[in-house]
Amino acid sequence: MAFAAFATAEAQPQAPRKSSRIALFLLLPGILYLVLFFLTPLVSLLLTSLQAPLEYGDIGQYQYAFNWQNYVDVMTAYWPHILRSFGYALAATVFALLFSYPLAYFIGVKARRWPLLQSLMLVLVIAPFFISFLLRTLAWKQILSDESFVITSLKALSLLGPDAHFTGTPFAVIFGLTYNFIPFMTLPLYTALERLDLRYLEAGSDLYANPFTVFRKITVPLSMPGIVAGTLLTFIPAAGDYVNASRDFLGGPDTQMMGNVIEANFLVLLNYPAAAALSIILMAAILVLVGVYVKRSGTEDLL
């Protein structure tokens, strides 16, 4: 687990072999759960993605086949959405990290002397969860709509052009994604920074490192497990998100992400194989990207 990375660096004593049967027994509910609710749907999804339309059938009727052409079709039809998804998710992850790191640093390091302030700030970070994610995103739509006070004021001040919109633009979608995933970024960062031993920072300063170098060479590497966990918790769901980019929320026709086309194919076009193929592509792409990222950040042993 990422958060306990440094603590468990020493070799664990070998568990006695006798308890392996008990361990297996204790693992059974978990294994059953995963088989039932993860493995089965995954296999079903994979099979669906290869289905072909039923001959002489209605729209939405498919039969099992090995129609890998589905993948080629969705790739050619939806490659801009695929790229857009990862682009938006990446931007949102970067913004969330830039926003959350100072916040987590303040809560986890600077506020250590005032435990009450620390708890209060943590509650404030988590507080948005008490209101539905959909409602909060709708609220932002209201706040940022063309007739809203914010936008009309900006227009009155000539900071925005008279025909400018905010909702429906890529900025609005990235803004929504960033906003919604900030707690997922802040909490792992806080966990890592809260355990940061300030004596290392003092040692760095004693060894002629200026505050910026101490941050770059000591604070950041020591909080790497939190950075990796936070960026994964933000990037993965953001890449698959279909709420923020939806036309009903902050998005527009030009901001559709993979989640939106999967939803449209599944619920509107009733093209189940296309939806399934897109889902598989999304999953595989995330898996590859995350794998490369974790390998590059040198934290594979920390996960």
Partner 1 sequence: MAVREFAERGADLELVGIQKRFPGFTAIENLDLTIPAGSFFALLGPSGCGKTTTLRLVAGLEEPTQGRILIGGKDVTSTRSHERPVNTVFQSYALFPHMSIIENVAFGLKRRRIGDPLGKAHEALRLVELDHLAQRRPQQLSGGQQQRVALARAIVNRPALLLLDEPLGALDLKLRRQMQLELKTIQEEVGLTFLHVTHDQEEAMTMADTVAVMNKGAIEQMGAPAELYDLPKTAFVANFLGQSNLFSGEVAGSTDTAIAVDAGGARLVVPKARAHRHNGAVTVGVRPEKVSLHVEAPVPSSERNVLGPGRVLDVSFSGVSTQYLVDVPGHGTILVFAQNTGSGPSVGVGAEVWASWLVEHGFGLDDGAVEVERFAADDSTTSIAAQRRDDLVAELGEG
Q: Is 264 in the site for partner 1 (CB under 8 A)?
A: no
Name 156's Cβ contacts closer than 8 Å, sequence gap at least 6: none
- Nearest approach, Cβ of 101 to partner 1 (angstroms)? 17
Query: Which of these ranges, 143-151, 172-180, 218-226, 287-295, lies near partner 1 under the rule CB under 8 A?
Result: 218-226
Closer CB to partner 1, residue 110 or residue 247?
110
Instruction: Tell me which of 115, 135, 208, 268 binds partner 1, using CB under 8 A.
Output: 208
* Number of chain residues interacting with partner 1 (CB under 8 A): 23
Instruction: Tell me which of 200, 215, 266, 293 binds partner 1, using CB under 8 A.
Output: 200
Closer CB to partner 1, residue 219 or residue 244?
219
Q: Is 221 in the site for partner 1 (CB under 8 A)?
A: yes
Closer CB to partner 1, residue 44 or residue 210?
210
Instruction: Tell me which of 24, 110, 156, 202 binds partner 1, using CB under 8 A.
Output: 202
Q: Is 204 in the site for partner 1 (CB under 8 A)?
A: yes
- Other C-beta atoms closer than 10 Å to the C-beta of 232 total 21
Q: Is 301 in the site for partner 1 (CB under 8 A)?
A: no
Closer CB to partner 1, residue 9 or residue 135?
9
* Amino acid residing at 138: L
- Nearest approach, Cβ of 189 to partner 1 (angstroms)? 17
Nearest to 208 by CA among 217, 220, 219, 197: 217
Structure tokens at 99: 């926003």
User: Rule CB under 8 A: which residues touch partner 1?
Assistant: 6, 9-10, 197, 199-200, 202-211, 213-214, 217-218, 221-222, 224
